[in-house]
Amino acid sequence: MAAANRNIADARIASLSEENQFDAAYKAIMQLAMVGLLANG
């Protein structure tokens, strides 16, 4: 969860390129999906 939160924060940094913001947001989504899968077997 902490890594996903960091990536969400990174995705909001306006000085990053849109590509890097998207990459950070995508990574956060994947991390949160993994948390959900692990929590539900």
- pLDDT score recorded for residue 14: 97
User: Could you tell me the pTM of the whole model?
Assistant: 0.86
pLDDT of 5 > 90? The answer is yes
What pLDDT score does 41 carry?
A: 81
The number of folded domains in the chain is 1
In angstroms, the CA 14 to CA 9 distance is: 10
> pLDDT tens digits, residue range 6-34?
999 999 999 999 999 999 999 999 999 99
Residue range(s) defining the domain that contains residue 20: 2-39
